[in-house]
Amino acid sequence: MARKPARGIATWTHAAFAAVCGIAYSGMALALEWNLRPAGSKLAADIHELHEYVMILCTVIFVGVFGVMFYSVYAHRKSKGHKAAQFHENTTVEILWTVIPALILVGIAWPTTRVVIAQKDTSNPDLTIKVTGYQWKWGYDYVKGEGEGISFISSLTTPREQIENRAPKGENYLLEVDNEMIVPVGKKVRMLTTAADVIHSWWVPAFGAKQDAIPGFIRDLWFKAEETGTFRSQCVELCGKEHGFMPIVVKVVTQDEYTKWVGEKMKLIAAAADDPNKQYTLDELKKRGEQVYAKNCVACHQATGKGSPPAFPPLDGSKVVNGPKEKQIETELNGVVKNGAPTAMVAFGKQLNDVELAAVITYTRNSWSNKTGEAIQPGEVKALRK
């Protein structure tokens, strides 16, 4: 009977040791779902190595400290006749419990500082791209390097049927966009982050790159992709109703492919340039407006125009939509502010050009039960821009 407690404690100790070993091993099992994503850049690889190093160090400390503690409790228990030692101001012990933790902290801080400094070194980039967060899409402007002058909006393309569970989910559900950010492999890319409405956060874990996008501020980060491929992520700062529908897709290509893409993009930009001075017909504006609405407005106001009250009021039968056109144009350009604070209706003046705004306003004023018969021209939008 006297040996049963010993077997119980030994069994528990073996189980605990096995669990600790399992946890330590899982941290190095790259194929497991709960591990970090495979690195696509040296910086991401350094972050992963730092994570593994600290994980192993913490595991060793855990096993050492708790092993000694449990052994002491078991081997020096009162039932064996042991009595607690009494000591005070033991210089050796005090030196040990000061020096050992200090060495541990230095052992963690040294490699961590090296990685953090590398993360913040945005000097001498090959390419600079400004990324602007909107509710709920990303705007990319190539501001320096090859491709300078290219600008586009990147929006979710997952069909509403999948989001509303009316169709099977696709392979890249909620992680697919109409315009991918294209960068060349092996080039240092500096990202300038900001936002037009609320705080967003641009993050690509495969590159070890993450930075908040804050309205009124420009912050930066960098990455250098070491392999070609498509890397997917999402906004990681809770930013409103459609936060979960704001994907980030970066496609890394060879230098030749990138140069070809830049040339094609420049030609498309020149060919698709809207003429704000042209007089468009009602049908032309409605057709274009339907596309703009599907890309920018349908998430809040719905395809039926019924909205999601009270945050997103219906456009079908709306007094603003059916009222004076100047009021609706100003609303689209500048958003809605109540009691000095912006509402869910954000400003689209910086996201859409005059033609796009004229088209979507015309579409809403002539769809569902709205039948104003008015064609809003780009010049009217331009005249009301602040």
Kindly report the average pLDDT of the chain as a whole number. Answer: 85
pLDDT in tens, 295-351: 788 778 888 888 888 778 889 888 888 988 889 888 888 887 776 666 667 788 878
pLDDT at res. 5: 41
Residue 219 belongs to a domain: yes
Residue 79 belongs to a domain: no
Average pLDDT over residues 179-207: 95
pLDDT in tens, 37-54: 888 899 999 999 999 999
User: Looking at the predicted structure, is the pLDDT value of residue 3 above 60?
Assistant: no
pLDDT in tens, 75-127: 888 888 888 777 777 888 889 889 999 999 999 999 999 999 999 999 999 99
Report pTM: 0.68
DSSP state of 36: P
pLDDT at res. 21: 58
Last residue of a domain, one of 104, 120, 136: 120
DSSP reduced 3-state for 183:
strand
Residue 50 belongs to a domain: yes
Residue 354 belongs to a domain: yes
User: Looking at the structure, do residues 28 and 135 belong to the same domain, yes or no?
Assistant: no
To the nearest 10 degrees (0 to 180), the angle between helices 91-120 and 42-75 is 160
Nearest to 221 by CA among 116, 90, 109: 116
Residue 295 belongs to a domain: yes
User: Looking at the structure, do residues 141 and 199 belong to the same domain, yes or no?
Assistant: yes
Domain count, the chain: 3
Residue the block writes with tokens 């830049």? 262
pLDDT in tens, 220-240: 999 999 999 999 999 999 988
Domain of 323: which CATH number?
1.10.760.10
**CA 299 to chain CA centroid, nearest Å:** 19
Least-confidence region, from 25-29, 161-165, 349-353:
25-29
pLDDT in tens, 125-148: 999 999 999 988 999 999 999 999
Average pLDDT over residues 215-221: 93
Separation CA 173–CA 164 (nearest Å): 12
Structural domain boundaries, residue 39: 4-74+91-120
Residue 157 belongs to a domain: yes
User: Looking at the structure, do residues 347 and 293 belong to the same domain, yes or no?
Assistant: yes
